[in-house]
Structure 1
Amino acid sequence: MNIKLRCLFLYLAAFWTVGAGAQPPSKSLDYYLKQAEFTSPVLKDFQNQQRSAGIDSLIVRATAKPQVTASSAGMYAPVVSGYGYDEVLTNGQALEALLNVNYDLLNRKRINNQLEGIKIQSDSIKYARQLSWYDLQRSVSDQYISAYASQEQVGFNREVVTLLEQEETLLKKLTRSNIYKQSEYLTFLVTLQQQQLVLKQAELQFKNDYAILNYLVGISDTTKVSLADPKLYLTVTATGPGFFSKRFDLDSLKNINQKKAVDFNYKPKLGVYANGGYNSSFVLQPYKNFGTSIGFTFSVPIYDGHQKKMQYNKFSLSSETLSGYRSFFVRQQQQQLNLIRQQLNQTEALFPKINEQIRFSKGLIEADSKLMHTGDLKVADFVIAINNYLAAQNLLRQTSINRLKLINQFNYWNR
């Protein structure tokens, strides 16, 4: 009996460190992150939006070149018995077929500002895509940690049930030999049945967590897998402006770009044009009505009810609002990081206490095993010692999982 009890303790003590490595891992966190990035329609959407912005840039550059158009128009106004349009006004009939060329001479700065606006838009899309990826990465990592914890719980509970089943067989024989009472055997049997139910619950929880992980990633996988240790580490704290502050910089640049666009609307506009072709009323020598013309257009705004000043006021309000959001977010981000650091420090402080509790539980089981050998210990007391040891091991595992989730949160905000 003493040997069996010692084997029980050794199995329980060793499971936390080597039980999960009994089977080689088949899939890791990196695998699921790559699958999530590959299957995400949102990331593909942002990628296509960036390509579309590149096409918009080409369109704007094309508008800076001379614009050539072909146009044609014909008209016939019949006069019957003296009734009809005045031929002095209509000439009775007309036909034109022209090739027109238009070119804006003062559009270079305006075009450059439009190109700058498209670049800012492209950078905003790139930022949104990266933010979406970080959000997806955080969600997948968090769910992977939950699924990994459920897997570890299943393995631990399965090992405990196996060992208790072995002890139950031996205890049954000792009970039949009147070394232990029937009530003590039933007490141990209840503990075994409870652990069997806990194992079933753990298996269901793992299936659910694993199904959610596949759902987030966007894959369908019903095969039995073994999840590897996530192995997350804290990232180095950023010293300069972080990733999240970039969105405020982009909004500020967009505001400046739109203000420049308003300025260009109040600049003089000068354009030239030329056309050539056929234009005739067929009244006199229509075969000679082939020709050409050139000209220019010029305009300058003088008064529009102070709309420019009103637009400027809107941009000032937008800048003020943006500054408020930036300051609030910086404070909020720092508070979030400080809170996670505090939680991590508190979590780290639990490990020595938990390990000490495990050590005490181990000593108690060793002492109880000697008493069990002589029949001087109640089975209920031995069950309590086992449960205390299991509780300590579960607490160690849960604390380790919480630590991984805190690291995942910290790495997300510390960008």
Structure 2
Amino acid sequence: MNIKLKYLILCLVSFWAVGAVAQIPSKNLDYYLKQAAFTSPVLKDFQNQQHSAGIDSLIVRATGGPQVTASSAGMYAPIVRGYGYDEVLTNGQALEALLNVNYDLLNKKRINNQLEGIKIQSDSIKYARQLSLYDLQRAIADQYILAYASQEQVDFNQEVVMLLEQEEALLKKLTRSNIYKQSEYLTFLVTLQQQQLVVKQAELQFKNDYATLNYLAGIADTTQVKLADPQLQTASTSMDRGFFNKRFDIDSLKNSNQKNAIDFNYKPKLGVYANGGYNSSFVLQPYKNFGASVGFTFSVPIYDGHQKKMQYNKLSLSAKTISGYRDFFVRQQQQQLNLIRQQINQTDALFPKINEQIRFSKGLIEVDSKLMHTGDLKVADFVIAINNYMAAQNLLRQTNINRLKLINQFNYWNR
């Protein structure tokens, strides 16, 4: 009865363990990219800046219409025993309460230029936000690849431990039957224990890499997950790669907008105004001092020491700087893409050789395992075969991880 009960308990525990493994949620790279974009305060900051630029546009439009202000001023200058301000100048007292309306007649083009400047600023913020998003996605993808590699390392090391444990049970029986020496069994046991420690180290490394991934993505979650294969593919080569060049276009538009602003500062200005209200010195019939007035203002710049030409020279230097940066970046970007493409091709060329090495190593392990069953193989030779297989598998995983990172870099620059 006790034996049956133990067997039942063992079965229940096994089913529970299998169910627990099956319930481990799986998350892919796209999940972390979306979470990082959603939680990033930098992206939210840029979004708020864009909204602020929209408000600035409304403010500029409001300044283009008539401006109405209310003003009031009062003054009393007493004369005591003949001492005080001259009443001819001050009238002794005065009160002013006016409603003023001002309107600039020649401000339409100036307002439009200001609106264009705000639009350029909004485009600049939009570009900065998109660039920040691309940088964030590249960092998340790199860390995801690193965590996925650590996860694969854990799985492989566990498979090796299971293989060694199976052979250890067989070797123990053969040692008891005096087919193998005790020293050979102990040598194999040390190898098994070392591999078990490697599994623990790999698990710790995966936990650290996974925690870093959650940290970068802004995810406060410590539950165990299964990371899916990143499945990154090289994007098709862009002909113009306009995204990175757009920042130079924006700088050129800023230059042009500033030049227009300088031109408007040297154009004539004409404005009209009107006011109405009460303005009196209380000297003569103050109850009749209600009235109104209209007028205009006109100004035209004549000479300011050639400041306009100096400002033009500054803008010309800025344009040359922008052109220099653009040319340098285009060359650098092309060199970067060519180098990464070459590295990807060289990496792809390694896979057939590595897979062939894995196939031979695995075949050797199978042959050596059969020879161990009959006692016709030294344990040291079997350990060497295991180490060669592990080295080949590690090389395959590392090569694949390097390829994924190169693809991530290529897709970043190929925009």
TM-score class, shorter: over 0.9
- Equivalent pair of 1:23/1:226 in contact (CA under 8 Å): no
| AA at the equivalent of 2:61 | R
Whether contact under 8 Å (2:105, 2:272) holds in the other structure is yes
Within-5 A mapping of 1:199-348: 199-348=199-348
1:368 deviates by: 2.1
Cα offsets for 1:70-90 (capped at 9, x unmatched) = 101000000011000000000
* Matching residue of 1:372: 372
Tell me which amino acid in the other structure corresponds to 1:285.
Q
- d(CA) in 2 for partners of 1:63, 1:226: 58
| Displacement of 1:24 | 6.7
Other-structure match for 1:71: 71
CA distance in 1, matches of 2:395, 2:22: 22
Report the Cα distance in structure 2 between the residues aligned to 1:392 and 1:159, rounded to whole angstroms.
Answer: 15
Q: Partner residue of 2:355?
A: 355
Specify the alignment match of 2:61 in structure 1.
Answer: 61
Count of residue correspondences: 395
In 2, Cα distance between equivalents of 1:152 and 1:77? 92
The alpha carbon displacement at 1:23 in A equals 7.6
Instruction: Give 1:65-104 correspondences, 5 Å limit.
Output: 65-104=65-104
Deviation at 1:373, TM superposition (A): 3.0
Distance in 2 of aligned mates of 1:358 and 1:166? 21
Q: Partners in 2 of 1:182 and 1:292 — Cα distance? A: 118
- Measured in 2, the distance between the counterparts of 1:241 and 1:322 equals 18
Deviations 1:12-36 (A, max 9, x none): xxxxxxxxx9887521111111110
- Consecutive unaligned residues of structure 2, counting only runs of 5 or more, are 1-20
Write out aligned runs for 1:123-142 (5 A). Answer: 123-142=123-142
Q: Give the Cα separation in 2 of the matches to 1:367 and 1:161.
A: 19
TM-score, length-scaled by structure 1: 0.93
- Secondary structure of residue in 2 paired with 1:245: helix
Residues 25, 224 of structure 2: 8 Å contact kept: no
Gaps of 5+ in 1: 1-20
**Greater mean alpha carbon deviation, residues 196-205 or residues 238-247:** 238-247
CA distance in structure 2 between the partners assigned to 1:215 and 1:357 by the alignment: 38
User: Quick check: 1:25–1:228 contact (8 Å CA) kept in 2?
Assistant: no
Per the TM alignment, residue 386 of structure 1 is displaced from its structure 2 partner at its CA by 1.4
Kept after mapping to 1: 8 A contact 2:106/2:270:
yes
Amino acid at match of 1:292: A
Aligned to 2:395: 395
Percent pairwise identity: 87
Instruction: Give the letter for the 2:117 counterpart.
Output: G
Aligned to 2:14: none
- Asked if 2 retains the 8 angstrom alpha-carbon contact of 1:242 and 1:414, the reply is no
Shift of residue 194, structure 1, vs aligned partner: 1.3
Q: Which amino acid is 2:254 matched to?
A: K
Cα deviation code 1:235-281 (max 9, x no counterpart):
11111242111000000100110111001000000000000111000
1:229 and 1:342 map into 2 onto residues whose CA distance is: 24
Match of 2:194 in 1: 194
Letter in 1 for 2:409: Q
Q: After TM superposition, what 4+ stretches of structure 1 lie above 3 angstroms from structure 2?
A: 21-25
| Counterpart contact for 2:24–2:225, Cα < 8 Å | no
CA separation in 2, counterparts of 1:370 and 1:218? 51
The 5-angstrom pairing of residues 39-58 of structure 1 reads 39-58=39-58
Contact 1:95 1:281 in 2 (8 A): yes
Post-superposition Cα deviations, 1:172-225, rounded to whole Å, max 9, x if no partner, equal: 111011010111111111110111111111011001100110110111111111
Q: Which residue is 1:170 aligned to?
A: 170
Give the SS at the match of 1:273.
strand
Matched-pair contact (CA < 8 Å) for 2:78–2:92: yes
- TM (norm. structure 2) is 0.93
Give the corresponding residue for 1:154: 154
CA deviation vs aligned residue, 1:350-390 (integer Å, no higher than 9, x gap): 00110111122133223323422332210110111111112
